[in-house]
Amino acid sequence: MASSQGNSESRSTRRSRAAGRQLPRPECLSDAGKGTRLQKFLATAGVDSRRNTEEFIRAGRVTVDGETVRNPATIVRPEEQDVSLDGERLLPPRYQYFLLNKPKGVVCTNRDPAGRPRAVDLVPAGDQRLFTVGRLDENTEGLLLVTNDGALAEHLAHPRYEVTRKYRVQVAGLPTPETLGELRHGMYFSDGFFRFQKIRILKRKGRSAFLELEMQEGKNREIRRLMARAGHKVMNLQRVAFGPLRLGRLELGAARELRSAELKELYDFVDNTPQKRAQRPRGNTKKIAKAAREAREKKAAAAERPQAAGRRGAARNVKSGSAAAGKKRPAKRTVKRKVKKKAGKRRPGRR
């Protein structure tokens, strides 16, 4: 019974993979007709990293249609040409896409001198060289996309495409509405301007709060640094969504291949991303920062209005008082003159 169940699961997995291979790739990800650089093709074919494949090419180990090529930037068309390494032909890669629920203590790099557990080790890669799309720091858990599709990884990970990332975070203390507003407006750091597109409180537990937030850039420890600046230390951080992908009920430390529907949704998401977002003006971040600064100044001005009104009222009172006093000055001078004249007369009996 168990064997028949295992066979059925393996058949369903094979059907899912076959359906994924039959899905047409978006034109923005395809190199058909344009060709690809030799160095890039060797890396996507699973030979090694781009840096190492460059050394293979310069050493004369790679041939294109029987001729040795030593320039890593040479444009090749693997569907039409014979690209070989040490005499063995390299075929275009079969792209794979895995959803991983990364646990804490696992790093996203493919090479770690410290020997820590790697995210790619939790995925059944086979003979393909896989890598993570973007990164989560060692103490963050949650959704990671692991693939060998470099073009797709660039579209999803690069900040210029503004792919939304959703997180759930537990922080120490209870953030006020003013604090949430500051986090939406953003803050300056030494390496850039950080902000949350959305942030809301899910629930409170003792002296901590659970938040849900969204952002479109994944800079180094951005969430932890923003929350620390706001006075709320991050206790637990989990990514639950990345673009159209959702973590769902995937167990911690488990990985699975994307389903056909998920892969189609991912392709549609990348294909429908406007190119204008990739060519946005450089000053966009400055405009956001300027708007945030103006909002803070407006808020501070609104808080000072009652005090300013009080100061203006006092000024009017002083002004009116001085005007009234100015009208009485001649009478005062007259009185002083009379006093002086009287003082000048000597009383009898005094010398």
Catalytic residue ranges = 137
The encoded tokens of residue 152 equal 């797709």
Over its C-alpha atoms, the chain yields an Rg (Å, rounded) of 35
Burial of 184 (0-12, 13-18, 19+ CB in 10 A): middle
- C-alpha distances out from residue 257 to 14, 36, 250, 265, Å: 11, 26, 12, 14
**Cβ atoms 239, 247 nearer than 8 A:** yes
Residue type, 286: K
Residue 104's φ and ψ, nearest 5 degrees, are: -65, 155
Place of tokens 């029987």: 66
Strand, coil or helix: what is 28? coil
Residue of 164, 336, 135, 343 whose CA lies nearest to 246: 164
CA 331, CA 309: separation in Å to the nearest integer? 35
Token readout for 329 is 């000055």
> Which amino acid is it at 186?
G
